Structure 1
Amino acid sequence: MNTGEEQEDVRDTDRDFIGAFEKGLAVIEAFNASDVALTPADVAVKTGLTRAGARRYLLTLAKLGYADFDGKFFRLTPRILRLGYAYLSGASLTKLAQPILEMIGERMNEVASLTLLDGNDVMFVGRSSATRIASVSIGIGTRLPAYCTASGRVLLMHRTDAQIRQYLEGAEIQQYTEKTITDREQILAQFQQSRSDRYSVIDEEYEIGLRSIAVPVLNARNQLVCALTVSVHSSRMTPAQMVDEILPVLESGARTLASIV
């Protein structure tokens, strides 16, 4: 298996690698739930491009219909969803998980989600039908930091402490709420607790009013596949209630999914 360093060497020397395409994708990834409208200067800061270069990429996206421009700010358009549709429509994992997500969502009267690890972030790739809104900022394609989310902690908990420390050293640790744990040793302790419990509960660390619980899904070879998670408004359940009521349903769903992936 190639290490990250070996992969970087291949990228730098492979004549088939198209740097401009990489930069174009970086421009698209500069947009997220917190930054839905960006100027060329904003994109330049987030991608390392020059302001003029960022502007050219953004204008190209606008000309192709992937972005709108109001004279100052650029915003991605729904057309951008085409880039992920091929993956989502053909990914067997999301198809296999959907009935299980619906079962969990129906039993708990909450939204259940399927998440994967994408770099240092958690990505939501599947969701049950919404019965009520827990957070307007979370949907399919949403990326959240792994260190302060329930899914992130169960998706990373199977790594060694040394690997988690390496991840934390490279992660940008932000104070999202007054409850966000930012001390890296304390975060590591949270990962260790999740490893011991085989689940994780997050209490308003990413968003005030939002609590989440997640469990890992392991295949027959004991390899981590994904995570199942449920988020609720803090007024509806305490963390202890989530463990008592939601955890058994999530664990049942995880066992079912593990038996078919």
Structure 2
Amino acid sequence: MAKAVRNDPTFEDSRDFVQSLARGLSVLRAFDAEHTRLGLADIASRTKMSRAAARRLVMTLEHLGYVRNAGREYVLSPSVLELGFGYLGSLNLTDLAQPLLEDLARAVNQSSSMAVLEGQSIVYVLRVPGRRIMSVTLGVGARLPAFSASMGRVLLSGLDEPALDQWLTECRPTKHTSYTVTDTQRLRRIVDEVRHQGYAYVEQELELGLCSLAVPVHNADGRIATAINVSMPYHPDASREAIRTILPQLKLTASAIETCMPSHRLPAVSA
């Protein structure tokens, strides 16, 4: 059987077309940002059906919990969101975050990435390249040591105290540059500070000339699920500029990712 396409008018004349389903969905689509409350006459007019047919459909949708009565008018109920969660749940986190990170990278004119914590490393799950400022090429699946990466420190700040203690016990920091922090007690203080301020800034610890600013992405329970960052070249005023101009953009992007994801798609990060 040929696959039905949404814009194929001939399908509506076939035996496979369920008119009552199409009409019920048209009632839901009658509501939008400009028409949040509709009476039966309005619904009938916007869906091009009789008032009697509109009434039956509205009563059915009300029984199912998708619309509710508001005096002489009707409004959509929160249950209608369930219709979209199936689609959102089928998407990977990176599918939803990709356009948001692309917008971020474009806005700040730098590269942007997303990573998760796996053991002693962070693993890149999404990367939008910008200006080439690292000597190594990073892509999806690339790993960096968590202790010296801004996203790593953000992800570590999401661990509870016993898990962080265990992580630091197993950590074997090595110096990448003369600026790399390798003392585990100092690393703990840094992670505590990241937890308190809500972001991590790392300057030339992974590679000379490279700075990075990262923020967490939380799940519905408020726990850190992943981290996103922006990488930038070092200059004497890099930290102040990053906090002033890039941090607000990063936070907005993280918030947008949190908002568009159903809670079951954002498991909390683990070591």
Q: TM-score, normalised by structure 1?
A: 0.62
Question: What do the CA deviations read for 1:147-202 (whole angstroms, capped 9, x no partner)?
Answer: 11100011110223443222111112101110011111101000011001100000
Indicate the residue corresponding to 1:160 in structure 2. 160
* C-alpha distance in 1 between matches for 2:260 and 2:236: 33
Who wins on radius of gyration, i.e. which is larger?
2
Indicate the residue corresponding to 1:242 in structure 2. 242
* C-alpha distance in 2 between matches for 1:215 and 1:97: 14
- Asked whether the equivalents of residues 158 and 223 of structure 2 are also in contact (C-alpha less than 8 Å), the reply is no
Secondary structure of the residue that 1:125 maps to in structure 2? strand
* C-alpha distance in 2 between matches for 1:131 and 1:120: 26
Quote the sequence identity (%).
31
Indicate the residue corresponding to 1:133 in structure 2. 132
* C-alpha distance in 2 between matches for 1:225 and 1:110: 23
* C-alpha distance in 2 between matches for 1:95 and 1:213: 22
Indicate the residue corresponding to 2:229 in structure 1. 229
Indicate the residue corresponding to 1:190 in structure 2. 190
1:84-99 equivalence runs, <5 A = 92-99=92-99
* C-alpha distance in 2 between matches for 1:250 and 1:148: 20
Relative to structure 1, the CA distance from residue 91 to residue 149 in structure 2 (aligned partners, 3 Å threshold; closer, same or farther) is farther
* C-alpha distance in 1 between matches for 2:139 and 2:159: 27
Moved more, 106-115 or 90-99: 90-99
- 2:124 partner letter: F
- Asked whether the equivalents of residues 100 and 253 of structure 1 are also in contact (C-alpha less than 8 Å), the reply is yes
- 2:132 partner letter: I
Indicate the residue corresponding to 1:66 in structure 2. none
Secondary structure of the residue that 1:246 maps to in structure 2? helix
Secondary structure of the residue that 1:206 maps to in structure 2? coil
Report how many residues are paired. 171
TM-align CA RMSD: 1.6
1:144 aligns with 2:154: no
- Asked whether the equivalents of residues 147 and 187 of structure 1 are also in contact (C-alpha less than 8 Å), the reply is yes
Gapped runs of 5+ residues in structure 2?
A: 1-89, 262-271
- Asked whether the equivalents of residues 216 and 227 of structure 1 are also in contact (C-alpha less than 8 Å), the reply is yes
Indicate the residue corresponding to 1:178 in structure 2. 178
- 2:93 partner letter: L
Secondary structure of the residue that 1:178 maps to in structure 2? coil
* C-alpha distance in 1 between matches for 2:221 and 2:247: 23
* C-alpha distance in 2 between matches for 1:251 and 1:175: 30
Q: TM-score, normalised by structure 2?
A: 0.60
How far is 1:229 from its partner? 0.4
1:3-42 equivalence runs, <5 A = none
Indicate the residue corresponding to 1:44 in structure 2. none
- Asked whether the equivalents of residues 155 and 216 of structure 1 are also in contact (C-alpha less than 8 Å), the reply is yes
Instruction: Please list every run of at least 4 consecutive aligned residues from structure 1 whose deviation after the TM superposition is greater than 3 angstroms.
Output: none
- 1:193 partner letter: E
